[in-house]
Structure 1
Amino acid sequence: MSEATKVEAAYGAEQIQVLEGLEPVRKRPGMYIGTTGPRGLHHLVYEVVDNSVDEALAGHCDRILVALNDDGSCLVTDNGRGIPTDIHPRTGRSALETVLTVLHAGGKFGSGGYKVSGGLHGVGISVVNALSEWVEVTVHRHDQVHRQRFERGLPIGTLRSEPGEPGEQGRTGTTVCFKPDIEIFSGGIEFDYATLSARLRELAYLNGGVRIVFRDQRTAALGENGEPHEEVYFYEGGIKEYVAYINAQKDPLHPNIIYVNAEKDGVQVEAALQWCVDAYSDSILGFANNIRTVDGGTHIEGLKTVLTRTLNAFAKKRGKRKDADANLAGENIREGLTAVLSVK
C-alpha cells in the first residue's frame, strides 16, 4: 500500500473523539431512531406521545392532544403530573432540563415513577430534543407554569417560572412543541396525517379510557370556515373495540368478543378474540408495553399454544373428538381468528 493511500499514521490521545451531551445523537441519529427518513421523523412524535401515555398507564392522565402546525412543528400536551422542575441532585440543573438534555435520564428505570412504559426507555425525549431545530416545553405543576426552550439539543436560557392563571388552580400537565431539524431529516419534515392517525388510534385502543385528540392545523387541512381537521380517539372498551374495528367488514362466527384480562408476577395480560366465517387465516396483533411486536414473540407463541391445547381438550370433553383421534392442528383452530394481545 502506498503512502498516499495509508491512513494518517499518527494515532494518539488527540485522535480519540469524545462526544458529550446529545452530540452522539446528532452525529449518528440512526442509532437512536433507526432512520432519518419518514419512519424516523414520525418516531419523534411517538416518543413524545409515549411519555403522555406512560402517565396514563400510571393513572395520572386521561387526555392527550396532538396537533400539527403550519410551521412544520408538532405539539403534544397532556393533563398528567407534569415533568418535575425542581433541581436534580446529580446534575445541579432542573429535572426538566436534565431529562431534555441527558440520555438515559427519566423516571422509567428501576422502581421510579412508572411501573410500565413504552418508547426508547429513558432516551426518547432527549433524542427528540437533539434532532429538533427547536423544542419548547411548558409544564403546569404546583400552580406554577414553567417554560424552557431548546435549540438543537441545547438549552436557551434557564427554566422560567411564573404563577398560573387565576382560573387554572390545580391544573397539571406537560406541553411539548418541537420542530424536526431539516439538517437531520434531509428528506423533508412534513408529517403524514394517515401515519400518525393510525398509531394514535392504536394507542387509544390499547389504553381504554384515554382520550386522544388529533388535530391538523396546517393550512391544507383547514375546512371551509378555517377550522382545523380533528379526530378524537376514545375507546372505553379498549382492545375489544379494536377487534370489533378490525372485523367491521367481516362476518363474525360469534357476536360477543372473547375478552381475557389477568395479571401474574407483575405482568398484565389482556387479550380479545373473535372468529369470522369469511376469513381463511388468522390475524393476531401483539403488543408489549404498547409497542407493536411485528416479529411475534413468546406472548404470541404462548397464545397459540394455549388455544390449541384448550380447544383440543374442550372438543374431547364435549365428545366432538375421540381420545384416539389426532389433535386438531393449531393453524386449523386459528382459521378466521382475529386477536389482539397486549402485555404490560
Structure 2
Amino acid sequence: MSSSYKADSIEVLEGLEPVKKRPGMYTDTSRPNHLAQEVIDNSVDEALEGHASEIRVTLRKDGSMSVSDNGRGMPVDIHKKEKLSGVELILTRLHSGAKFNSDNYKFSGGLHGVGVSVVNALSETFEVFIKRDGKLHHMSFKGGKKQGKLTVKDKVGKRNTGTMIHFKPDASYFDSPKFSVSRLKHLLRAKAVLCPGLRVVFQDETASKKEENLFEWFFENGLEDYLSAELESLELLPEMHFTGLRSARDEAVDWTVQWQGESGQLITESYVNLIPTTQGGTHVNGLRAGLLEALREFCEFRNLVPRGIKITAEDIWDKCNYVLSAKMIDPQFAGQTKERLNSRQAVSFISGVVKDSFSLWLNQHVT
C-alpha cells in the first residue's frame, strides 16, 4: 500500500464502471431477480400512465430473459445536449431518464435514475428492440458496451409500438446466476393486482415438461380479490375487508386490510408506484397510525376500554393482513434497491385518509 496520497491517487469511474466495481450498491447480488424487476418496472411505468395494456416476460433456457410491452417505445431521437439517442443515454448513463419531473411520468419508481442502465452493466449480453414511429429499431451491448449504433431493422405499423429488452445476467456478479421463478411469479402477479386492467403474461422455458410453464394474470378488481384468494382457508375476524382508495393531486393510496382469527403467517405487502417495498417505510407507518388513531377514538367514544388501559399499535397490528399500494410524485427511497420508502409526506397523507375511512367503516359495522 502506497503511503502517498495525492490528486493522482483519486480514481474517477465513468459511465457504468461504478456499477461493475461495486454491484452490491446498485442491486441485490444474491440472484439476478432485481435486474428483472428493473426492466419490468419500466414497462409497468408505461402501464401506470395508461400507455401500455400488456407486459410479456419470458425466461429462456439459456438463463436469459425477455421483457416486452406495448407502450410508447423508448425514445430514439437524438438528445440535444448529449448528442446521443435517447435509448443509448438511458442504457449507458446512470443518472438519466424521463422520470425526474412529472411531464412524462406522473407516478414512477423513484429518482435514483439508475434502473435499466444497471441491468445493462451487469449483463453478459443486452439487446433492445423498439417499435416507434413506424420503424423497428435495434441496439445491442456486451458487458455494458455498445456493439454498434442504433439501427432500423424493419418497418412496422404506425400504431404498433412498444419495447422489448432481452438480457443475460453476467454470472460473475451473482451468487447464483439463476432467477428465482417463484419470486418472479409473485412479483408479476402483484403487478397485475396493483394495476387493474394490465395483462401480465409469463412463460418459463426452463420448466420441465410436467410443470406448468405459461401463466397469465389479469385483475379487474385488484387488491381485495388478491388478498381474499390468499386468505381463503383462514378464519377471518370480521369476514369483511377494510378496503379503500383515496387520491390527491400529487399522491394516491389504495389498501385492503383483513384480520385473521389465529396467529400465523401474515400477508404484509406494500408497494410504491407498483414497486415492492419489502422493508416497509413511511407509507406503512401511515397505514398503521391511521388504523390505531381511528380505533382509539372509536373505543373511547363508546367506552369499550377500561379506564387506565390504552390501545397500542400491536393490539391492532397483531394478526393484521394488508396490501398497501401508494402512488406519489418523486418518492424517496432508503437505497438503490428501493426496499424502504423514506418520503415523509406519505405518513401524514396516508394516516389521515386511513383514519377517516376506518372511523367510518367501524361505525358502519357495529354489531
TM-score, normalised to structure 1, is 0.86
Tell me the residue number matched to 1:235. Answer: 219
Paired AA for residue 10 in structure 2: I
Cα offset for 1:56?
Answer: 1.0
Superposed CA RMSD: 2.5
More deviation in 322-331 or 45-54? 322-331
The answer on 1:47 being equivalent to 2:38 is: yes
Higher relative contact order (CA 8 A, sep 6+): 2
Write the mapping of 1:84-99 to structure 2, written as runs, cut at 5 A. 84-99=75-90
The answer on 1:117 being equivalent to 2:100 is: no
Paired AA for residue 182 in structure 2: A
TM-aligned CA distance change 1:37 to 1:273, over 3 Å:
closer
Paired AA for residue 324 in structure 2: L
Distance, in Å, in 2 between the alignment partners of 1:204 and 1:159 is: 32
- Higher-Rg structure is 1
More deviation in 112-121 or 176-185? 112-121
Does structure 2 retain, via aligned residues, the 8 Å contact 1:50–1:119? no
2:95 match: secondary structure: coil
Tell me the residue number matched to 2:73. Answer: 82
Does structure 1 retain, via aligned residues, the 8 Å contact 2:41–2:275? no
The answer on 1:213 being equivalent to 2:213 is: no
Q: Give a deviation string over 1:146-201, Cα, whole Å, max 9, x none.
A: 00111111111111114424xx441111000001112323x342222112112212
Q: Give a deviation string over 1:238-266, Cα, whole Å, max 9, x none.
A: 11122213312212234432211111351
**Percent of residue pairs identical:** 40
Q: Give a deviation string over 1:298-329, Cα, whole Å, max 9, x none.
A: 32222222222223333455x46279574444
Q: Give a deviation string over 1:200-229, Cα, whole Å, max 9, x none.
A: 1222222222111111113xx1436xx971
Cα offset for 1:337?
Answer: 2.5
Does structure 2 retain, via aligned residues, the 8 Å contact 1:68–1:215? yes
Structure 2: 5+ residue runs without aligned partners? Answer: 328-367
More deviation in 24-33 or 112-121? 112-121
Does structure 2 retain, via aligned residues, the 8 Å contact 1:46–1:119? no
Paired AA for residue 289 in structure 2: T
Q: Give a deviation string over 1:254-304, Cα, whole Å, max 9, x none.
A: 443221111135110111112232347975432223233333333222222
Distance, in Å, in 1 between the alignment partners of 2:305 and 2:125 is: 68
Tell me the residue number matched to 2:247. Answer: 263
Does structure 1 retain, via aligned residues, the 8 Å contact 2:132–2:158? no
The answer on 1:199 being equivalent to 2:187 is: yes
Match of 2:133 among 103, 117, 142: 142
Does structure 2 retain, via aligned residues, the 8 Å contact 1:78–1:173? yes
Does structure 2 retain, via aligned residues, the 8 Å contact 1:260–1:272? yes
Paired AA for residue 38 in structure 2: E
Does structure 2 retain, via aligned residues, the 8 Å contact 1:57–1:116? yes
Does structure 2 retain, via aligned residues, the 8 Å contact 1:215–1:228? no
Cα offset for 1:9?
Answer: 4.4
Does structure 2 retain, via aligned residues, the 8 Å contact 1:132–1:152? yes
Structure 1: 5+ residue runs without aligned partners? Answer: 1-6
The answer on 1:302 being equivalent to 2:302 is: no
Cα offset for 1:83?
Answer: 0.3
Distance, in Å, in 2 between the alignment partners of 1:303 and 1:254 is: 19
Paired AA for residue 304 in structure 1: R
Match of 1:23 among 3, 17, 20: 17
Paired AA for residue 272 in structure 1: T
Does structure 2 retain, via aligned residues, the 8 Å contact 1:281–1:335? no
Match of 2:124 among 127, 133, 141: 133
Cα offset for 1:43?
Answer: 0.8
TM-aligned CA distance change 1:81 to 1:241, over 3 Å:
same
Paired AA for residue 30 in structure 2: G
Does structure 2 retain, via aligned residues, the 8 Å contact 1:217–1:228? no
Tell me the residue number matched to 1:4. Answer: none
2:26 match: secondary structure: helix
Tell me the residue number matched to 1:59. Answer: 50
Distance, in Å, in 1 between the alignment partners of 2:111 and 2:212 is: 31
Paired AA for residue 254 in structure 2: E
Paired AA for residue 339 in structure 1: Y
Match of 1:160 among 148, 151, 158: 151
Cα offset for 1:116?
Answer: 1.4
Cα offset for 1:99?
Answer: 0.5
Cα offset for 1:120?
Answer: 7.1
